[in-house]
Amino acid sequence: MVMANSLEHGTIRERLGGPQQVSVGWPTRMGDTRIAPLLYLPIAAFAHELESRLLLSCLAVESGITVIIGPKQSMVRNIPSMRPGIILFNALTTRDAGVMRLARDLGYRIAAIDDEVPGMIARNDGLRWVSPEAVDASDVVFAIGSEHRDFLAEQFPCSDDKYAVTGDPRWDLLRPEFLHRHDDEIKRIRKAHGRFVLISTNLDLTNSSEGSLQIALQKLEEAQRLDRRRQADCYYIGEHLVLEVGSQNGLHALLRMLPKRLPHHQFIVWPHASENVSVWERIVADSPQVKVVNGGSIIPWIVAADALVHTYSASGVEAFALGTPAISFRPTNSQILESYLSSQVNIIASTPEQVIEQLKRIVDRNARSYFYPAEFRTVFERHIAAQRGPLASELIVRSLRSKFAFQSSGNDQSWRSLPRYRRRMLTKSDDAKIAAELNRPIIVGRLASYGQALGCAKSPAVEDWGEHMFLLRHAQA
């Protein structure tokens, strides 16, 4: 696939350039300020991370950086026995700060990109989970957009080169250059369901797959996404509970009305990954026009739909990026709704009647010809960078190569000295879930697809590097 009119001219390798010989001022165990061209990519959530990290890997390998990818907890436990390189963390919590400090003491360089931010308005939300110690331990923090960078700089003042606005690799995959990978799935969905409206729910506290609110909150605390000892977090929980109850009541009313008001459409309910799907299945059991779908990527469903209806979900922002009309259904009002970017780039509706009225306007004039207001695009690009021109993944690789001084470049052989992990490393259920999907055929297939789209001469070579750990290197190395 030719990526004309989107990326800069020149080959990927030419655009990425060579490493700048600049000391980062943090010695390795041997006292050398240079670092091996090794990039460790720990995966903490398969659905959200693996695809984007493989795209990033493809570009990193093309630039001469060897990549090691695997489950986060497995990789973290093996930091003392791995060869120091760059570790890209996906969060900036207090727990991550401790691991970052350990890695730095052992000679690693630390990069971070906060996967909790996309779809949020950092200034309004406050980034409650971000630890000052994690920011301090990072050599570079990749900001999702200029608004994110500005808020980080205000909250955690540091050197000017600490924050780099790059965008997020996850959003690279929503650009037109990569959407062709969903073509077959989109055709299958449209053939199976005809014209339909997608309804994305987000009730992960009151309808938690964990079985109870208490367990759901405990899981969030374990992930350090909230702390009930803090007043701000208690307010956040209370407001979200009110929002979820109101959203649930509003969705139930909407689902009762839609089949009669839009008789020629199907309605697909897409629960959040952390919700109890069976609850929704029971709710819609008596309505043949409504079905519940769960699992896989929501992206082809958004593209195939005539419109999306959601309750303060990142899916609304994804729909905007993909050009699908999206309605943010807000039957209950709260100040924390303004923390979600969808509130500024989607149509707002407060009642089921308003949702139906907007849906009729969309489907009557053909959803494919719908255009968002121009001011929505301005807001979107201020919060999520790299929507045109260089990919976010490309900007991240450029930043790594200019920020860090590598020991060698080009046809590097550092990977040959890495230990191959044969002992069992997976001890936690989260690791096991990721490992079940993190396998060689998936990795090889995705890298080949991305390499072809990017115009790489060869896709990276993939080697098993222990249990569910993989090393990706240049095929000619």
pLDDT category of residue 194 using cuts at 50, 70 and 90:
very high
Averaged pLDDT, 344-352: 96
* Strands 326-329 and 163-165, sheet pairing: unpaired
Which amino acid, one-letter code, is at 96?
D
pLDDT score for 436: 67
pTM of the model: 0.88
In this predicted structure, the answer to whether residue 358 has a pLDDT above a threshold of 50 is: yes
Comparison of pLDDT for 164 and 476, the residue scoring more: 164
**CATH architecture assignment, domain 12-173+387-473:** 3-Layer(aba) Sandwich (3.40)
Average pLDDT over residues 355-368: 85
Q: Report how far apart, in Å, the C-alpha atoms of 104 and of each of 101, 155, 301 are.
A: 5, 23, 42
Q: How far is CA 71 from CA 143, 168, 382, 425, in A?
A: 23, 20, 32, 9
What are the residues whose beta carbons fall under 8 Å from the beta carbon of 435, sequence distance 6 or more? 71, 74, 426, 467, 468
Could you tell me which CATH number the domain at 182-204+244-383 has?
3.40.50.2000
Q: How far apart are CA 110 and CA 297, in angstroms?
A: 30
**Residue 280 class from Cβ within 10 Å (0-12 exposed, 13-18 middle, 19+ buried)?**
buried
CB contact set of 259 (below 8 Å; sequence gap of 6+): 267, 287, 289, 290
Q: Which of 164, 13, 42 is nearest to 108 (CA)?
A: 42
Q: Would the CATH topology of 12-173+387-473 be identical to that of 182-204+244-383?
A: yes
Q: What is the domain partition of the chain in residue ranges?
A: 12-173+387-473, 182-204+244-383
- The three-point CA angle 357-358-364 to 5° equals 90
